[in-house]
Amino acid sequence: MSGVKVDLKDNGPILISGDIVLNDGEGNPIDTGGKACIALCRCAETTNSPFCDGKHKDCNYSAKDRA
Ligand code: FES
């Protein structure tokens, strides 16, 4: 069975794994490099948007709520 798994990491990125199709706000595809798992930034400090580049650690990102 195929599917998509989404994990919200505490004070970190959103991990998405599975059969991923990622589009921008206009519906244009974003290249995920064929990866089976991607990490999307939610701290807004990444220099590789929309992907996490680890900057959440440098800025001590703290999610307001635990999802
Ligand atoms: S969540 Fe990792 S750089 Fe933003």
Q: How many domains does the chain have?
A: 1
Nearest CA to ligand 1 atom 2: 52
Question: In the chain, which stretches have pLDDT less than 70?
Answer: 1-2, 67
- The kind and range of the H/E element at 5 are strand 4-8
**What predicted TM-score, i.e. pTM, was given to this entire model?**
0.88
Q: What is the pLDDT of residue 67?
A: 65
45 and 61 in contact (C-beta within 8 Å)?
yes
Task: Express each pLDDT in 38-56 by its tens digit.
Answer: 999 999 999 999 999 999 9
Domain, as residue range, for 55: 1-61
From the number of C-beta atoms within 10 Å of its C-beta (0-12, 13-18, 19+), residue 45 rates as middle
**67 is a domain residue:** no
Q: Is residue 48 part of a domain?
A: yes
Q: Which atom of ligand 1 is nearest to the CA of 9?
A: 1
DSSP category for residue 65: S
Confirm whether 22 is domain-assigned.
yes
Q: Is 63 in the pocket of ligand 1 (CB under 6 A)?
A: no
C-alpha–C-alpha distance, residues 44 and 34, integer Å: 24
User: Are the C-beta atoms of residues 23 and 29 closer than 8 Å to each other?
Assistant: yes
High-pLDDT (> 90) share of the chain, %: 88
User: Which CATH number characterizes residue 11's domain?
Assistant: 3.40.5
Judge if the beta carbon of residue 38 lies within 6 A of ligand 1.
Answer: no
